[in-house]
Structures are given as structure tokens and as C-alpha cells.
Chain A
Amino acid sequence: MKILVAIKRVQDYNVKVRPKSDGSDVDIDGIKMGINPFDENALEEALRLREQELATEITVVSIGDSKNEDVLRHGLAMGANRAILIESEESLQPLGVAKVLKGLVEKEKPDLILLGKLALDSDAGQTGQMLAGLLNYPQGTFVSKIEIDNNKLIVTREIDGGTNILEMDMPAVLTADLRLNEPRFVKLPNLMMARKKTIEKIKASALASDTSTKLELLEVLVPPSRKAGIKVSSVKELLEKLKDNEGIQL
């Protein structure tokens, strides 16, 4: 069984980004970047499936410029067999990403495609479902457990108020929730070895003819902040303030 894991390069989750001074975009110059956490869970799960001898080959793929090689090397250091960089000069929206990945899936024919359920930068949470739709594949989103029985996928999904379990044939697209697993720590020697590995390169235009969308970013804004609050000195004062200032009678 071949698994394709799509990984995105995003800002570190602790970083608080700001708009550029002209408001044209987000200022991410000099910010610590790395693999999108949910995608790391997706890759970890692929590695575990290989350790259970259910998967044979794991390919990590990322879309962007040469800077994306760092997340691909991280993927190789975690244990992926191959890495593919899909070269794209423009920054693609989820629909464009899904179209490019569809082209790669048709070329590589993986049995399972794993992605994170959302990316920390765009907060869109769409690529997996879009890819499944374009391929007309079964989908399992927000997945917190994956089992394989008789070549069927049995996935547990996080839903409102609990979980549900779906069963599906492969090929399929699954998106990982953070609860899926705890990604392994990358050891330095593995990182060193990953530096020497080859990263295959494909132009995005060779995989999808039209990746543009009719979305235009007009402005990036600082959200309205909450009014400055006050500190109270006791529980009694807190309850009085809630009652007198806010009309909340507890």
C-alpha cells in the first residue's frame, strides 16, 4: 500500500503574526516556519501504518518554492521514503492545491492520501475534502483513529459532541485531527541523513492546467481588540462588578 502525505510549510504555532504596514498581506519575514502540525500527525500515522507492515511506501509532498525543502527534509527525517516538491511561484488557494494534488494522485496512484485537517495560516480546512471531491474518492475528515481491516479503512472522526466511525474502501482521502497521534521527535542523525536525500521536483503546471481562483485578497487587518479590562481584588468585588457594570446576576 502506497501512502501520499501532503504537508504545508506554515508559521510556528506560537508566533503571533501581524499585517504588513501597507496592509497588503501578512508579514511573515523572519518568522520561524515549519511543518503544519496537523500534517505532521498525518505523516506520523502513515509511518505507524508502515511499521504495522500495512504500508510499503510513504511519499511526502509539498507545494511552493525551494524554501519548502525544509519541511520535506523534516518529513524524510521522520521516515518518509520519498519527497516531492511541486514547484509553484504563486501562492495557491485550497482549490488550486487540490487540483495540483489531484494531478499528482493520478500520476502516483497512492492507495491512501493523508493530510492535516487544517493549516495554521489559512485556517481554511478544505484541501482534503476538495481533493476527495475532485477524485470522487471516499473521505474521512477530522480523523482521530485509523484502522485497516481486510483492506477496508475504519476511521474514527471527531464530530460535534463526540465521535463517529466510518468504513470505506481505498483509495481514500483522510484528514488528521491532532488527537490522531503524538508525532515522533526527529533525531539529529536522521535530519543529517535527510539532508543528503534527493527531493524530486515537478512543476505545478505539469499537474494542473488552471490553478487560479476568483478570490482576491484586498487587505489584511488587525482585528478589533477587546476594550481594556480591569483587575478585581476579590471574589466579592468580581460578583459586584458583574452585577453592577454588566447586569449579570449570578
Chain B
Amino acid sequence: MKILVIAEHNESELNESVFKVISAAKSWNGEVDLLVMGKNTVHVAQKASKIKDIKSVIRLDGIHLEHLLAEDAAKIVEMLSNNYQVILAAHSWFSRNFLPRVAAVLNVSLITDVLKIENNNVYTRPIYAGNVHAKIQSKDPIQLLTIHTSLFEACARDGGNAEIIKKDTPPAMNLTSWKSEKINKSDRPALIDAKIVISGGRSLGSEENFDKVLSPLVDELGAALGATRAAVDAGYAPNEIQVGQTGVVVSPELYMAVGVSGANQHIYGMKDSRVVVAINNDPDATIFQFADYGLVADLFDAIPEINKLIKE
């Protein structure tokens, strides 16, 4: 049994999710290889080779892989696929972009957002915005899946000495061309990795309030700032900090939902958090059903007070 994990990285570091996907890959008790593709993968492949739980690091370099277009990424995975019985990656926008393409070309199904892996290729995954879970069995010759990483423990990062195998990169597909990118830089931790996430809802009332009320506490705690889709749609916060079904799924140690109603789509994005605190002036808000600690209060009073007490 050979298993391929597709790594997400920035040419210097592996994404945190990679270590969790490797843990998931161990469910099959086979040899796990890690695929690293990009413009220059030498350093990141060297770091990856220290991971104890992998057999080899497969690296493919190419100038045209700098921005890793879906068509090129799919081609590479498709090319490698005949060596593997299982191929998996984190359930991120990165893999969701190209893995369905791989699945179609290989004529197998892709099972996305896998919560649990059982014997005989049985998986549990959320459907209907996580309101229900589906248990499904796949009899495809290649199991292709994306993993809900917050439910898997990270594997050990060192202690190994995997072989690094460089493979020839197929030529550029040239179906699309990359023009530009706009990443909003922030000194705060990334939502997906943050230990504490503080999210605001529409009750904040304006972009100014969102920043003025939440930012001091977020920065005091070294937390990440999140937002509901309603707050994003109202223009109070940028789309990339949206927590939910159509945004980012987070699972921090502490999640604080501030002025959040508790719509299905938002709950989907935060319900794996270890401890959930909800602050809302509406005692009937749905969010309280998902909170470990609920405080019925005006957020404009409560948030500054929390900040003040923490500072003391």
C-alpha cells in the first residue's frame, strides 16, 4: 500500500496542515510519500525529509510552478497517481482548486472534508453545512480525499530521514496564466493556526467599530481576527477573514464569537474549537447553543472590560 500526501508550502516552510494530513495518511498502515511541487523546493524538501512518518519526499520543480496553477498541479498528481492507492491533501482552497480535476481525469470520486477514516475505505464527511454527517464507502482503485485537518493530531516533525526523489516536471499546460496576486499582510497569526480567534458579527455595526472594538483585544491576546459572512457582506471586514462554510474553518483553543447570531454557515466554520465563548445582547441568539460560556451583554461594554481586566 502506497500513500501520497500533497504538501502545501511557501517554498520555505511546510504548511501546518501537512503534519495533520500525514497523521491521517497513517490510517492505512502503508508507506507515505510527501509530494512537494513548486518553483524551488530544495529547502522545503530538506525540511520535509526530517519528518519521521514518511518514506520519501517527491519533489518537482519548475519556473511555471511558482504560482501552481490548477491545470499544472493536476497534471503532476495525475502523472504520479499510478504508483499510489491513496492520495490525500488538506481540505484547503489550494487542494480544492485542483484535486477534483485530478479525480475526473482518473475517473474516480474525490471525497472532500473527511472527518474520520475507518477500515475498508469508509469515511465520514459533513453535508448540508455540517448539519448532518454522511458515512460513505469508496470502492475506487485510488482513494482520493481531502482532510478536515482540525480533527487530526499533527505528526512528529523530526526524527526521520526520508529519501528525497526529484522527478521531471511535465511541461506547462498553458491553459491559464497567472497575472497578479493580492495577499493582505497581517502581523497577526493566520486564522487557521491561531490559538485564539475572536470573530465579530454584524452587530458591530460598522467597519470602524469592527476595528476599534475588537482589534485592541485581538492584539492584546495575540489572537487572530475573524468575521461572519454577514459582517463581511456588510463591508465591515475583508473576505479572507470570514469564518464559515464559504470561508475558513478554524479550530482554536479559544473561540470568541462577538455579536454573532449563530447562522448554520458560521457554526460550520468554528464548531471544532476547544472552548467557545459567545457574547451577544440577544439572550435567544442561536450562538449560545454552541457556546461553552455565554455572556448576555452589550459587546461595546463587554469587550473593553475584558481587555481592561486582562491588562490588570
Flag if A138 contacts B176 (CB, 8 Å).
Answer: yes
In the complex formed, the residue of A with least CB distance to B94 is A160
In the assembly, what is the distance between CA of A241 and CA of B135, in Å?
A: 37
Flag if B184 contacts A162 (CB, 8 Å).
Answer: yes
A177 at the interface (CB under 8 A from B): yes
Flag if A232 contacts B179 (CB, 8 Å).
Answer: no
Contact with A along B286-300 (1 / 0, CB 8 A): 001111111111000
Flag if B239 contacts A168 (CB, 8 Å).
Answer: no
In the complex formed, the residue of A with least CB distance to B118 is A218
Flag if A238 contacts B122 (CB, 8 Å).
Answer: no
Residues on A with beta carbons closer than 8 Å to the beta carbon of B229: 178
Interface residues of B in 118-135 (CB under 8 A from A): 122, 124-135
The A interface is mostly helix, strand or loop, or mixed, namely: mixed
B181 at the interface (CB under 8 A from A): yes
Flag if A18 contacts B132 (CB, 8 Å).
Answer: yes
Flag if B126 contacts A248 (CB, 8 Å).
Answer: no
B89 at the interface (CB under 8 A from A): no
- Interface size class for chain A? 35 or more
Flag if B122 contacts A218 (CB, 8 Å).
Answer: yes
In the complex formed, the residue of B with least CB distance to A219 is B135
In the assembly, what is the distance between CA of A121 and CA of B130, in Å?
A: 10
A123 at the interface (CB under 8 A from B): yes
- Interface size class for chain B? 35 or more
In the complex formed, the residue of B with least CB distance to A214 is B139
Residues on B with beta carbons closer than 8 Å to the beta carbon of A223: 126, 130-133
B180 at the interface (CB under 8 A from A): yes
In the assembly, what is the distance between CA of A126 and CA of B246, in Å?
A: 14
Q: A94-B100, A121-B127 are in contact. Are A133 and B105 (CB under 8 A)?
A: yes
B33 at the interface (CB under 8 A from A): no
In the assembly, what is the distance between CA of A128 and CA of B96, in Å?
A: 11
Q: How far is the CB of B113 from chain A (nearest CB, A)?
A: 7
Flag if B102 contacts A248 (CB, 8 Å).
Answer: no
In the assembly, what is the distance between CA of A238 and CA of B98, in Å?
A: 44
B29 at the interface (CB under 8 A from A): no
Contact with A along B273-307 (1 / 0, CB 8 A): 01111000000000011111111110000100110
Q: A26-B128, A238-B293 are in contact. Are A229 and B180 (CB under 8 A)?
A: no
Q: How far is the CB of A53 from chain B (nearest CB, A)?
A: 25
Residues on B with beta carbons closer than 8 Å to the beta carbon of A167: 176-177, 179
Q: A154-B179, A158-B93 are in contact. Are A134 and B105 (CB under 8 A)?
A: yes
Flag if B104 contacts A95 (CB, 8 Å).
Answer: yes
Q: A124-B112, A139-B70 are in contact. Are A160 and B294 (CB under 8 A)?
A: no
Flag if B138 contacts A133 (CB, 8 Å).
Answer: no
Flag if A214 contacts B70 (CB, 8 Å).
Answer: no
Flag if A220 contacts B180 (CB, 8 Å).
Answer: no
Residues on B with beta carbons closer than 8 Å to the beta carbon of A122: 127
Which of A133, A154, A238 has the most C-beta atoms of chain B within 10 angstroms of its own C-beta?
A: A133
- Within 8 Å by CB of B112, from A123, A166, A219, lies A123
Q: How far is the CB of A204 from chain B (nearest CB, A)?
A: 17
In the assembly, what is the distance between CA of A10 and CA of B70, in Å?
A: 28
A98 at the interface (CB under 8 A from B): yes
Q: How far is the CB of B229 from chain A (nearest CB, A)?
A: 8
Q: A213-B109, A216-B137 are in contact. Are A238 and B277 (CB under 8 A)?
A: yes
Flag if B67 contacts A164 (CB, 8 Å).
Answer: yes
Q: A167-B177, A168-B175 are in contact. Are A160 and B240 (CB under 8 A)?
A: yes
Flag if B136 contacts A217 (CB, 8 Å).
Answer: yes
In the complex formed, the residue of B with least CB distance to A226 is B290
In the assembly, what is the distance between CA of A39 and CA of B221, in Å?
A: 40
Residues on B with beta carbons closer than 8 Å to the beta carbon of A121: 127-128
Flag if B128 contacts A17 (CB, 8 Å).
Answer: yes
Flag if B293 contacts A232 (CB, 8 Å).
Answer: yes
Flag if B240 contacts A161 (CB, 8 Å).
Answer: yes
Flag if B179 contacts A129 (CB, 8 Å).
Answer: no
Residues on A with beta carbons closer than 8 Å to the beta carbon of B310: 239, 250
Flag if B182 contacts A162 (CB, 8 Å).
Answer: yes
Residues on A with beta carbons closer than 8 Å to the beta carbon of B294: 229-232
Q: A128-B100, A129-B101, A160-B240 are in contact. List 10 more A-B contacts (CB 8 A).
A: A13-B264, A123-B128, A129-B70, A158-B239, A162-B181, A162-B184, A165-B180, A167-B177, A214-B109, A230-B292
Identify the B interface with A (CB < 8 A): 67, 69-71, 74, 92-94, 96-105, 107-113, 122, 124-140, 175-184, 190, 221, 229, 239-240, 245-246, 253-254, 264-265, 271, 274-277, 288-297, 302, 305-306, 309-310
A-B contact pairs, 6 of them (CB 8 A): A26-B132, A120-B129, A123-B130, A218-B135, A220-B127, A221-B135
